[in-house]
Structure 1
Amino acid sequence: MPPAPRGAVVCGPSRYLREDERIHIADRLREKATMRQIAAELGRSPSTISREIRRNRTVLHDYGTWYYRPHAAQARADARRPRPKDRKISRSGELRTAIQEMLDEKWSPEQICQALRTRFPDRPEMHVVHETVYQTLYLQGRGELRRELAGALRSGRARRKPRRQAQQRQPRYSHPMVMISDRPAEVEDRAVPGHWEGDLIIGKNSGSAIGTLVERSTRYVMLLHLPADHGAEAVRDALTSTVTTLPSRLARSLTWDQGSEMGRHHEFTLATDIPVYFCDPASPWQRGSNENTNGLLRQYFPKGTDLSDHTPEHLLAVADQLNRRPRKTLGWETPAERLAKLLATAS
């Protein structure tokens, strides 16, 4: 038979290589074509071709050579495709026991995976990535690991927390937000006082809260009394009454997270002429001073307690004690001393 004219194989919509494409790969390999030439002819990525050959070739261990057979490659790919598959941990009793022992020692999945590679350097069947351990734990109801999930993971969550992409998030408030990326540069370097970070610390059963304000330049702390309600209107009123006691040069901006308590942020800005900048979702480090201060405040207001029991006078005393505490980041000055110096210089 005369040779068939060679042309590019039409690539269908499937994400998987078809058998005719594997035949084309085998033919072109015999003709010493490069991976990129084959990929261009098939309309595939070069990494797809190299991965296909690496995974489905037949290696002759005695001779150190390999060959690629398209029908055998197709059979291997078909055998791997069915779902669901048995997980690696469920297939190996030795691996399952080793992981269970380290879970009993309160090790994290990532620590477990590194320990397995160190303990069994020449046994790849005993190596897993931490995602494999996580997936097995979250499916532990199927009996793959005999463990109470809440005790096995430090987060204490028995279900995975879904992570949505930023573009999939719905607008948080009815009024447009001004994001932290639009905040003036003077806020970032902490050179100019009057830029504040804010948040709420929540009490028992989310029934009470205390508002926290931290000045970025001096770390000066102010607390908001919210005994009965920490909704948008209550937070707006508490913020307004607090910041109006400040000199104008100490009331330049406020940075907050995207909590529902800031639903009236535009009304606060209209009442005080203080712009509010919002952090990106799940980015607490963008309010680092406030997060650190909230940790310090938990010494006074432990988690799981009723925060409505604290009077405004007590909140003022706690803030005063923090403001008189020397800070390493301020050269061992106190926030009150640093604020007094700034006010004296400005006057």
Structure 2
Amino acid sequence: MHERTARDWDRGIRKVGNARLHPDGRRIDYKTGVTTIVAATSEPSLAGVEAELHSRFLTVTERELIADMRREGRSLRAIGRALGRPASTVKREIDARSVEGAYQPHRAQRAWARSRSRPKESKLAGHGPLREFVAGRLRQRWSPEQICHALVIEFPDDESMRVSPETIYQAIYVQARGGLRREVAVALRTGRTRRKPHRSPDQRTARFVEEMVMISERPPEVEDRAVPGHWEGDLIVGTRSESAIVTLVERSTRYVMLGHLPGGHTAEEVRDVLVPLIQTLPGHLRGSLTWDQGCEMAAHKQFTVATGVPVYFCDPRSPWQRGSNENTNGLLRQYFPKGTDLSVHSPEDLEHVAQQLNGRPRKTLDWKTPAERLRDLLTTT
């Protein structure tokens, strides 16, 4: 047989059709990539029996030593000293694992491995107020973490209305674990039906080469987000790069503003959208603008003359230097998917999307919304 087949048998994994059935109940279909949960096997696999997960757990070797020393009539304290463990640990092991007064180490090891797996139904598997709340917020495009904290705020005294972000992800990604599969298309911003590991960002091309003021020259108060009015900007581009949307994010409040570019995104077109967008703000909220080195900002000096807002440029291949804007663009792709024509969206559509984003609670704002933070700034200054 193949070496991998032998390893699978050793770990208790069986092949069933086009899927592999794991002893913990996972059934993975490698043609479709779908993971389902079935009833776990009653007997632990050899790998489960021989597992050494943490030093606090007794190993099969230690259990054999306990059995040998018990047959020699050694005391619990003597066994404990030989193992380097408290005598109470030895006593609990013997009391819990003995059968008809006899302690058998390998039977005890198998019983321990069997007791470790505790399959249970997901909190979101059954119908009820918790599942309805989660499904409702997913339809509003809230993230699982936002939903988790909203439950604590809205139901402070109801412990049954609690769920972790991971449980929500499991209910979406793993069939038979939570019943939220139908929401997957609109629930998560990526729209993926399978989990995907993080990868390194692709290298950027077509960098801006004209004279720029670099981000290293940006004032310190911009960096620590202590002073509001400093913005990060970028474009999200539609299919064939024929349409685009200007995205602006205020660094302190994470407030979002969107500009309409239905016909193109040349430097002049971007300038003509940015200037009136910034001019809608009061003077104390026009501190600076940070952009990447895209050629759409070739008219940055004309923008600065018209608005009085200096423009700072990020280093090449450094998207984290405008992380708030990168994160916001990811949120916006939930409304404006990649590969679609962005010109079909009107300025009113963009305003509606901006209002939705500005009305979402944010972890970085202590679960306040950007609109609330901006309102507080405008009413206190």
Q: TM-score, normalised by structure 1?
A: 0.51
Aligned pairs for 1:195-344 within 5 A: 195-344=230-379
Distance 1:225 1:261 in 2: 14
Following superposition, the deviation at residue 162 of structure 1 comes to 8.5
Per-residue CA deviation, residues 18-74 of structure 1 (Å, 9 max, x unaligned), is xxxxxxxxxxxxxxxxxxxxxxxxxxxxxxxxxxxxxxxxxxxxxxxxxxxxxxxxx
Distance 1:306 1:223 in 2: 16
Distance 1:245 1:162 in 2: 35
Distance 2:349 2:252 in 1: 25
Distance 1:327 1:162 in 2: 29
SS of the residue corresponding to residue 246 of structure 1 reads coil
Q: Does 1:194 align with 2:194?
A: no
Distance 2:276 2:215 in 1: 24
Per-residue CA deviation, residues 285-335 of structure 1 (Å, 9 max, x unaligned), is 000000000000000000000000000000000000100000011001000
Following superposition, the deviation at residue 345 of structure 1 comes to 1.7
Aligned pairs for 1:19-98 within 5 A: none
Which runs of 4 or more aligned residues in structure 1 lie more than 6 Å from their structure 2 counterparts after TM superposition?
Answer: 161-164
Aligned pairs for 1:94-173 within 5 A: 172-173=209-210
Letter in 2 for 1:202: V
Structure 1 residues 312 and 340: CA distance shift in structure 2, 3 A: same
Distance 2:344 2:304 in 1: 30
The number of residue pairs the alignment matches comes to 187
Structure 1 residues 342 and 232: CA distance shift in structure 2, 3 A: same
Q: Is the 2:362–2:368 Cα contact (8 Å) retained in structure 1?
A: yes
Structure 1 residues 170 and 306: CA distance shift in structure 2, 3 A: closer
Taking only the aligned residue pairs, the percentage that are identical comes to: 69
Structure 1 residues 329 and 306: CA distance shift in structure 2, 3 A: same
Structure 1 residues 163 and 284: CA distance shift in structure 2, 3 A: closer
Q: Which protein is bigger by CA-based radius of gyration?
A: 1
Following superposition, the deviation at residue 270 of structure 1 comes to 0.4
Letter in 1 for 2:254: R
Q: Is the 2:244–2:265 Cα contact (8 Å) retained in structure 1?
A: yes
Per-residue CA deviation, residues 98-139 of structure 1 (Å, 9 max, x unaligned), is xxxxxxx9xxxxxxxxxxxxxxxxxxxxxxxxxxxxxxxxxx
SS of the residue corresponding to residue 223 of structure 1 reads strand
Following superposition, the deviation at residue 170 of structure 1 comes to 8.6
Distance 1:163 1:213 in 2: 20
Distance 1:218 1:235 in 2: 24
Letter in 1 for 2:226: A
Q: Is the 2:234–2:291 Cα contact (8 Å) retained in structure 1?
A: yes
Per-residue CA deviation, residues 258-290 of structure 1 (Å, 9 max, x unaligned), is 001000000000000100000000000000000
Letter in 1 for 2:299: R
Q: Is the 2:207–2:316 Cα contact (8 Å) retained in structure 1?
A: no
Letter in 2 for 1:254: L
Letter in 1 for 2:375: A
Distance 2:225 2:290 in 1: 13
Following superposition, the deviation at residue 229 of structure 1 comes to 1.4
| Aligned counterpart, 2:33 | none
| Aligned counterpart, 1:56 | none
Structure 1 residues 253 and 162: CA distance shift in structure 2, 3 A: closer
Distance 1:230 1:299 in 2: 21
SS of the residue corresponding to residue 245 of structure 2 reads strand
- Gap regions ≥5 residues in structure 1: 1-104, 106-153
SS of the residue corresponding to residue 329 of structure 1 reads helix
Give the aligned CA root-mean-square deviation in angstroms: 2.7
Following superposition, the deviation at residue 155 of structure 1 comes to 11
Aligned pairs for 1:1-12 within 5 A: none
SS of the residue corresponding to residue 299 of structure 1 reads coil
Per-residue CA deviation, residues 134-161 of structure 1 (Å, 9 max, x unaligned), is xxxxxxxxxxxxxxxxxxxx999xxxx9
SS of the residue corresponding to residue 178 of structure 1 reads coil
Distance 1:206 1:236 in 2: 17
Distance 2:213 2:277 in 1: 22
Structure 1 residues 232 and 297: CA distance shift in structure 2, 3 A: same
